[in-house]
Structure 1
Amino acid sequence: MSSLPEFSFSTTADEVAAALAAEIKGKNGIYLAPPSNLIQFRRWSNPISTVLITGTSIGGIGFETARVLAKYASLVIITGHNAERLKLSEDAIKKETPTANIRTLLLDLSSLESIRTAAAQLEDLDALHVLIHNAAAPIGPFKLTRDNLESQSATDHIGPFLFTRLLSPKLLSSNKTTFTPRVVWVSSSAHASVPAFDVNQVVGMGKDAVTEGTYEPMKVYSNVKAANVLMAVEVSRRSGGRVNGYSLCPGMVYTNMHQKEESLATLQTLGILGADGKPSTDKFAFKTIPQGASTTIVAAFDPRLDDQPGAYLSNAAIANETRAAHSADAANAERLWTQTEEILGEKFAF
Structure 2
Amino acid sequence: MASLPTFSFSSTAEEVANALSKEIAGKNVLITGTSLNGIGFETARAIAIHAPLVIITGYNEERLKLSEEAIKKDFPSANIRRLILDLSSFAAIRKAAAEVNAYPEPLHVLIHNAAAAIGDFKLTADGLESQMGTAHVGPFLLTKLLAPKLLSTSTARYTPRVVFVASIAQFYSPGIKFDQIAHPDAATYSGVSAYFDAKSANVLTAIELSKRSKGAIKAYSLHPGVMHTNMSQKKESIPNLQAMGLLGPDGKPNTATMQWKSLAQGGATTVTAAFDPRISDHPGSYLQDSVIANEAVAAPSSDPANAEKLWDVTEEIIGENFTF
Bin for the TM-score computed over the shorter chain: over 0.9
The answer as to whether partners of 1:7 and 1:316 remain within 8 angstroms in 2 is yes
TM-score, scaled relative to structure 2 = 0.98
Question: C-alpha separation between the residues in 2 aligned to 1:268 and 1:325?
Answer: 26
TM-score, scaled relative to structure 1 = 0.90
The answer as to whether partners of 1:11 and 1:291 remain within 8 angstroms in 2 is yes
The answer as to whether partners of 1:127 and 1:172 remain within 8 angstroms in 2 is no
The answer as to whether partners of 1:125 and 1:170 remain within 8 angstroms in 2 is no
Q: Which AA in structure 1 matches 2:203?
A: V
SS in 2 for 1:242: coil
Equivalenced residue count is: 323
Q: Does 1:97 align with 2:97?
A: no
Residue of structure 2 equivalent to 1:43? none
Residue of structure 1 equivalent to 2:149? 170
Question: C-alpha separation between the residues in 1 aligned to 2:174 and 2:92?
Answer: 34
Q: Which AA in structure 1 matches 2:10?
A: S
- 2:216 is matched with which residue: 225, 229, 242? 242
Question: C-alpha separation between the residues in 2 aligned to 1:231 and 1:188?
Answer: 14
- 1:117 is matched with which residue: 83, 89, 95? 95
Q: Does 1:289 align with 2:267?
A: no
In structure 1, stretches of 5+ residues that fail to align are 26-46
Post-superposition CA distance 1:54-78 (Å, at most 9, x none): 0000000000000111100010000
The answer as to whether partners of 1:53 and 1:133 remain within 8 angstroms in 2 is yes
SS in 1 for 2:49: coil
- Measure how far apart 1:266 and its partner are: 0.8
* Pairing of 1:308-327 with structure 2 (within 5 A): 308-327=282-301
Residue of structure 2 equivalent to 1:23? 23
In structure 2, stretches of 5+ residues that fail to align are none
Question: C-alpha separation between the residues in 1 aligned to 2:95 and 2:263?
Answer: 31
- 1:127 is matched with which residue: 93, 98, 106? 106
Question: C-alpha separation between the residues in 2 aligned to 1:262 and 1:50?
Answer: 35
SS in 2 for 1:286: coil
Post-superposition CA distance 1:14-40 (Å, at most 9, x none): 111111011111xxxxxxxxxxxxxxx
Residue of structure 1 equivalent to 2:250? 276
Question: C-alpha separation between the residues in 2 aligned to 1:184 and 1:332?
Answer: 19
Q: Which AA in structure 1 matches 2:44?
A: A
Moved over 3 A (4+): 195-198
Q: Does 1:211 align with 2:176?
A: no
SS in 2 for 1:174: coil
Q: Which AA in structure 2 matches 1:81?
A: Y
SS in 2 for 1:94: helix
Residue of structure 2 equivalent to 1:5? 5
Residue of structure 2 equivalent to 1:66? 44
Q: Which AA in structure 2 matches 1:119?
A: A
- CA-based RMSD: 1.0
SS in 2 for 1:51: strand
